[in-house]
Amino acid sequence: MAKKTIDQIDVAGKTILMRVDFNVPLDETQKITDDRRIRMALPSIKSVIDRGGKLILMSHLGRPAGTGFEAKFSLAPAAACLAETLGQPVAMATDTVGEDAVAKAGALKDGQVLVLENLRFNSGEKKGCEEFAGKLAAFADGYCNDAFGTCHRSDASMVAVPQAMGGKPRVVGHLVAREIQYLSDAIGNPARPFVAILGGAKVSDKINVINNLLGICDAVLIGGAMAYTFSLAKGGQVGDSLVEKDKVDLAKELIAKGGEKLHLPVDTHCGDDFGDIAGCNKKIVAAGEIPDGWEGFDIGPDTAAKYAAVIKDAKTVVWNGPMGVFEKPPMDAGTKAVAQAVADGDSISIIGGGDSAAAVDQLGFADQVSHVSTGGGASLAMLEGQAFAAVDLLDDTES
């Protein structure tokens, strides 16, 4: 999957169409509450404009109906944030492939940036429409994919647009190149021992990931609420814990397949009131011995110690999903212990986006791991072993 990068093509005097992920969170006043996705796109953006290229940025934001402009999903705040961050004007089109976009794209000068309005205002984006993609492709002399968070999707901007570019360059940006390096290359040829840590609420969300990783990992550590479904599958008591009763047979199959590779919690930190975790009664019980009226909220200290010992010896670690309700102390203890073990270890450590990325960031360990993925769904898809058409069709590096 060695793909040609934006740095490897000539952009001077040329127009580059770049798919970015500016799907940033907004408050009720349309103010951006977290601009990390914009900041993370800067290396690719600067690679074009600093070398005299003209840059057209396209992205989605939220889930508009696809029937036209919706003010609450406009990319205008993202364009304004980018302008402030770059320290130069950024043009904003009022449409995606309409008259305003065409006019502003045509008026771009070397080193300038244009942001198109939300791709999903046009129904052709989600449908992968070739006509819509053709209009976007006509804007530019080359295409760059720097939106890893949507690389697992078949949206027009991800697949049909690069397909419509003809013989023009189609490359990856810095962000996607880094994601491929870690999530694909590290997993495809991992330094061993290779340990996966999987948490979160539902076994159903991670079935394919667990199946795939059991085949290639040396150890798979299970935490989060999905551990209670495994506990139920082993005949344990789970009290009022969150479980998927319809996935018990599946959990039994995974236990049988995993054998000694699959590590399940040996104790549980539980409480009797989810609505008041800080103030409720709490106790630590053996796994599978959660009494009625109580819920499991975190792995227990013995499990945390056991997992930390496995992580300590690892040379590659992939982590997707917290060990418990990390947002509500003291039920962040298990996630914190695992994060500390990953940070202290001598491994290539990859945090697979979503809640696990938020947990590592919140707990202060983000700068002590090798890589924090920007795409929760995309990172899960890659851990499942899925092929990404949006990446596969881009230009390979010359061997």
Condensed to tens digits (0 to 9), the pLDDT of residues 15-67 reads 999 999 999 999 999 999 989 899 999 999 999 999 999 999 999 999 999 99
Distance, in Å, from the CA atom of 58 to the CA atom of 300, rounded to the nearest integer, reads 45
Per-residue pLDDT tens for 126-181?
Answer: 999 999 999 999 999 999 999 998 999 999 999 999 999 999 999 999 999 998 88
Asked if 162 and 143 count as a contact pair (C-beta separation under 8 A), the reply is yes
Catalytic status, residue 215: no
Catalytic status, residue 377: yes
Query: Which one from 14, 37, 153, 170 is the annotated catalytic residue?
Result: 37
pLDDT (0 to 100) of residue 1: 53
pLDDT (0 to 100) of residue 44: 98
Query: Which one from 98, 134, 377, 385 is the annotated catalytic residue?
Result: 377
Catalytic status, residue 259: no
pLDDT (0 to 100) of residue 18: 98
Residue 204: CA count within 13 A, CB half-sphere: 7
> In sequence order, which ranges of 87-128 are alpha helices (DSSP H)?
99-106, 124-127
- Whether the predicted pLDDT of 189 surpasses 90: no
Buried b (16+ CB within 10 A) or exposed e, 286-303: ebbebeeebbbbbbbeeb
pTM above 0.75, yes or no: yes
Catalytic status, residue 36: no
Query: Which one from 288, 345, 354, 376 is the annotated catalytic residue?
Result: 354
Write down all domains in the chain, each with its CATH number in brackets.
6-175 (3.40.50.1260), 184-383 (3.40.50.1260)
Helix (H) or strand (E) holding 42: helix 42-49
Question: Which residue, 298, 345, 294, 295, is CA-closest to 317?
Answer: 345
Query: Which one from 202, 252, 306, 328 is the annotated catalytic residue?
Result: 202
